[in-house]
Structure 1
Amino acid sequence: MAVWDKKILWGFTFLLTGAAGVAVNYPDHICAVKGSTVTILCTFTPLKSAIRAGTQVFFEITRVRWCQNHLICHGTTPSVYDSQSESNDPRYKYLGDKKGNCTLQINDVKKEDEATFRFRMEANDTPAHYTGRSGVNITVSDDSPMMVSSSSSGREVSAGENVTLYCTALCTFHQLEVTWFKDNHALSESGPALQLSPLTPEDSGNYTCGVRTNDKTLSLPYSLHVEAEQEGGSNPSLMVGVVFGVLLALVTLIMVVCIIRRKRAAAADTDQRAVGGQVEPKHPDDIYSNVLPPAEQGHRQEPSRAVEEVSYASVQFKHKNQDRLAKEAEDAIIYSAVASRG
């Protein structure tokens, strides 16, 4: 009896140790579009070891399973995926491993996939088996239309720009197989994103999208208008060249004006000094030419020579006037003296 009680105690201790830390983590509720592809992200923490009869025992996961609507998912319970089965439905693809990743992908979602999916791990020892009982609930929508959105803030764009159209749905989905239409004509592009770059006026039109295998999911039209590039439109390089040319012409004009003003100022200064009789010869040859006889100077008579002659004539005229006035004054004095004597 004592031996039996000891075995029960060891088994109870083993179960408590095994339960601690073991877990399966599922995503929240998933709403899938019929015909789409859904990926159930999942991670698990297995029981790695336990104490049995005072000895540490290590475990290894040898089998993983996914099943629908079953609380434990064990024994002969039907599974959508079983690592030990060779007849799994190809629509269900296990993307995980036996270490800690239990991700399951469901392709071409059908209405019968609307269920609660649970993951189970089985080890090389029965006490290490574990099922994540919370599971993940999947609902399938077969008449929910898709929606088209754009990376551009407006529906009117200019030629040469880049725009990406997105096909979205109210339900969550992964790796959606989408068919794109333009003006009711199917396009070769597939996938939830349609890239249009660079845009041309021919890209204008009404775009729709839907799940490839479900006509009921066709979206409402999205109207896109591409404005043609205007002829003679602004060219940055051309604008820079025009601005540079204008600036260069302006600088040249300012320099020419400055040169003209300087020449005019120099000519005016020369004229003023010539009128005052203080013309300074600009070259020694000019001084030498001034002392030469008129016959040798020829036509090289400078304005300074003419000014000197005018000045000389003015001085001579002033001297003659002064002599005449002095003589008249003297005659007046002599005449007045003779008159007084008589």
Structure 2
Amino acid sequence: MAGWDKKLLWSFMFLLAGAVAQTVVYPFTSTCAVRGSTVTLPCTFTPRKSFSDGQREVPLKIVRVRWCKNHVLCQGSMPSVYDSNSANIDPRYQYLGDKKTNCTLQIRDVQQGDNASFRFRMEADRPEGHFTNQTGVNVTVVDSSKMRIISSSDDKKLSRGENVTLLCASVCTFHQLEVTWFKDGHALSDTGPSLHLSPLTAEDSGNYTCALKKSMETLSEPYSLQVEAGAGGNLPPIPGVVFVVLLVVIALVLFIVERRLRAAEGQRAAEAS
């Protein structure tokens, strides 16, 4: 009996250790996204390595990972927004993770239907390794919120040669936000949330706007940027400098010629006397 009790105790300890080690962690459990934007749901997991069948430790291997929407357990025939065992997945949902530790999900072109709770589930080659974190991540979708431009400088009048960064932001915190930048109504090639202008030139002056790449309804109010000449602006232009130098050279030549003429006249007068 003592041997059997000891074996039962060790089995319980292995089972408890496996259950404790099995986790899914979401760095944040709620976020918001503007319709048409991209949002990333960071996620890490620790799978159960093994379980005891009463006689030996049986190793476990993760064979399937899933993300579900508005389902507490994310199991069975419940449709998944991502399923590693299925090829029929909406391309808007991109799994950036693996079957080891990373379970990050990215939602592109966010729609109103993404206003929901998302949960990750891991499944092993034995049912003992299946696990779903019921906490999940709540996504709140904001419809067509206007973007706004934030500058790294409080001064809208900057000098030539300085640096400035313009940030396209909204009421939500974005991850890998794709926007369209405009200058005086013309689209720029930059697509990131920040526009870095360095070094500034007179050509950078103008009105800047930004919007989510797939939603012009989010177009921001214009941000006016004026680049002034700066400390070098009061210097005379190059042609004027050349003209002044020429005048100095001519005056110097005339001075030398005049001195030589006077010297020659003095020498002739001395010889005549």
- Trace 1:44-63 onto structure 2 (pairs within 5 A): 44-63=45-64
Instruction: Please tell me whether the aligned partners of residues 207 and 223 of structure 1 are also in contact (alpha carbons under 8 angstroms).
Output: yes
**In 1, Cα distance between equivalents of 2:49 and 2:190:** 48
Q: Which amino acid in the other structure matches residue 184 of structure 2?
A: D
Structure 1 portions without partners, runs of 5+: 1-5, 234-342
- Aligned residue number for residue 90 of structure 2: 89
Q: Percent identity?
A: 59
Relative to structure 2, which stretch is displaced further, 104-113 or 48-57? 48-57
Q: Which amino acid in the other structure matches residue 19 of structure 1?
A: A
Offset of 1:169 from its aligned partner? Answer: 1.6
Q: Deviations over 1:172-229 (max 9, x none)?
A: 1111111111222322322111122222223222211110111221112211111124
- Aligned residue number for residue 311 of structure 1: none
- Aligned residue number for residue 157 of structure 1: 158
Structure number with greater Rg is 1
**In 2, Cα distance between equivalents of 1:53 and 1:195:** 63
Structure 2 portions without partners, runs of 5+: 237-273
Q: Secondary structure at the match of 2:189?
A: strand
TM-score of the two chains, using structure 2 as the length reference:
0.77
- Aligned residue number for residue 108 of structure 1: 109
Q: Deviations over 1:116-163 (max 9, x none)?
A: 000000001111100011000001112221121112231110112222
Higher relative contact order (CA 8 A, sep 6+): 2
Offset of 1:33 from its aligned partner? Answer: 1.4
- Trace 1:125-144 onto structure 2 (pairs within 5 A): 125-144=126-145
Q: Which amino acid in the other structure matches residue 232 of structure 1?
A: L
Pair 1:232-2:235 in alignment: yes
Pair 1:25-2:25 in alignment: yes
Q: Secondary structure at the match of 1:144?
A: coil
Q: Secondary structure at the match of 1:224?
A: strand
What is the aligned residue count? 225
Q: Deviations over 1:56-90 (max 9, x none)?
A: 11111010000100011111100010001011111
**Greater strand content:** 2
- Aligned residue number for residue 269 of structure 2: none
TM-score of the two chains, using structure 1 as the length reference:
0.62
**In 1, Cα distance between equivalents of 2:190 and 2:124:** 46
Instruction: Please tell me whether the aligned partners of residues 18 and 127 of structure 1 are also in contact (alpha carbons under 8 angstroms).
Output: no
**Greater helix content:** 1
- Trace 1:137-286 onto structure 2 (pairs within 5 A): 137-229=138-230, 230-232=233-235
Offset of 1:42 from its aligned partner? Answer: 0.1
Q: Secondary structure at the match of 2:32?
A: strand
Instruction: Please tell me whether the aligned partners of residues 117 and 137 of structure 1 are also in contact (alpha carbons under 8 angstroms).
Output: yes
**In 2, Cα distance between equivalents of 1:120 and 1:28:** 15
